[in-house]
Amino acid sequence: MPLKLFFSDDNYAAKLALILDKARSQDHDVTETVIKIINDVRLNGDEALIALTKKFDSIDLMETGFQVTQNEINIAKSEVSEEELAALKLAADRIELFHAKQKPQDISYVDGQGVGLGLRWNALTSVGLYVPGGKASYPSSVLMNAIPAKVAGVRRRVMTVPSLNGSLNPLVLAAADLAGVTEIYRIGGAQAVAALAYGTGSIAPVDKIVGPGNAYVATAKKIVYGQVGIDSIAGPSEIVIVADKENNPEWIAYDLLAQAEHDTAAQSILITDDKDFSDQVILAVDSILNSLPRAEIARKSWDKHGAVIILESLDDAPRLIDTLAPEHLELAIDDPAKLVDRISHAGAIFLGRYTPEAAGDYVAGPNHVLPTNRSARFSSGLSVFDFLKRTTLVDCNKKSLELIGPAAITLANAEGLNAHAKSIAIRIKQNK
């Protein structure tokens, strides 16, 4: 059963701390193994990729080739139904439109001292898009990772995906083609991350690696960070739903289970101000669970990590939400605007009774790659900005340097950096 706590309980704070402090990651420490894999790929390149792929994915890259061909992509697309392709196209169009509106403007002006100042945005040259394989084949994640990179102007968009026993998900390949991925390699795991970071004979290195993966992939991303950029280290999925008694309990139950079915370490939390409604939702969850194909996963998640919090008033919800800093937040109430302006920490917020989080996973438009494990306190979801970098511009003439230079000389001397001071002084003929 999920943890149930009332705001009025004497031990409310202690129970809430259990939710915040409970470790949900089931990943064991694989650092030593991952370091060996990365070093192998750095030292032996393609030879290591061939051996590791044969070991972990049971395919021979010498026979299949490293790169997925356009003919393979075309065949995969032919195996996808027209309905699925249309759904992918709708999702891709909406994601691209939303992310296109994020593109920032350059800055250029001359200040009061005559100094020309500016800021210029440039796209990264190349990115690696890691896509999980096997049971976790998510074409929606391909769209969410690849389209912002394309919108940002990244020229080389490289996807790696494990091909377990030679099999690649047709929808994943169709999504990659639709999202404008420029290269696809049938390689997964830590070895794929190493190949993207350092390059091999067949795969050129990239500037940044994004996308979810298992413990080996997450650990590899941590290790190669600095050689390349990374997006984040994603934890198990999570949702907080604020709902009053006017909701259909079954709707809310499905929303909670939509997160629980992701992973046994996922977390679903209901916040309400009505005990009877919370009981109805719990009963609905129990009833629905038996009908889900992923019932075993969802049940473990709900029983081990689920929580129901009953507040005296939903006006108290924003402070609790900011403490939880959830990846996903649903405000299933009549006037969500009354609460949303008081909330600072949430990866994505879904407003009203007819905006289930699942819509955001696929077709709403904003990115579904979001901060987990309370990192919404200091980070944001994937966006066009993750594929751009800023360069500042400074343009002084003699007169403007004479106006601002003396202060710089004073500060340089105060820091004991004489050459800094002299490099300015020599230009404005100031002997200091």
Active site residues: 327-328
Decide the pairing of beta strands 116-123 and 107-110.
Answer: antiparallel
Q: Give CA–CA dist 429/432, Å, rounded.
A: 9
Distance, C-alpha 267 to centroid of its chain: 17
Neighbours of 376 (CB within 10 A): 25
- The maximal CA–CA distance of the chain, rounded, in angstroms, is 83
Residue 397 buriedness (CB in 10 A; 0-12 / 13-18 / 19+): exposed
- Asked if residues 408 and 416 have their Cβ atoms less than 8 Å apart, the reply is no
Cα radius of gyration (the chain): 26
161: amino acid identity, one letter: V
Q: What is the DSSP string of 188-237?
A: -HHHHHHHHHH--SSS---SEEE----HHHHHHHHHHBTTBEE-------
Decide the pairing of beta strands 126-130 and 208-210.
Answer: parallel
- Number of residues that this document lists for the chain: 432
Please state whether 292 falls in left (phi above 0), alpha (psi between -120 and 50) or beta.
beta
The strand pairing partners of 229, in sequence order, are: 208
- Asked if residues 230 and 208 have their Cβ atoms less than 8 Å apart, the reply is yes
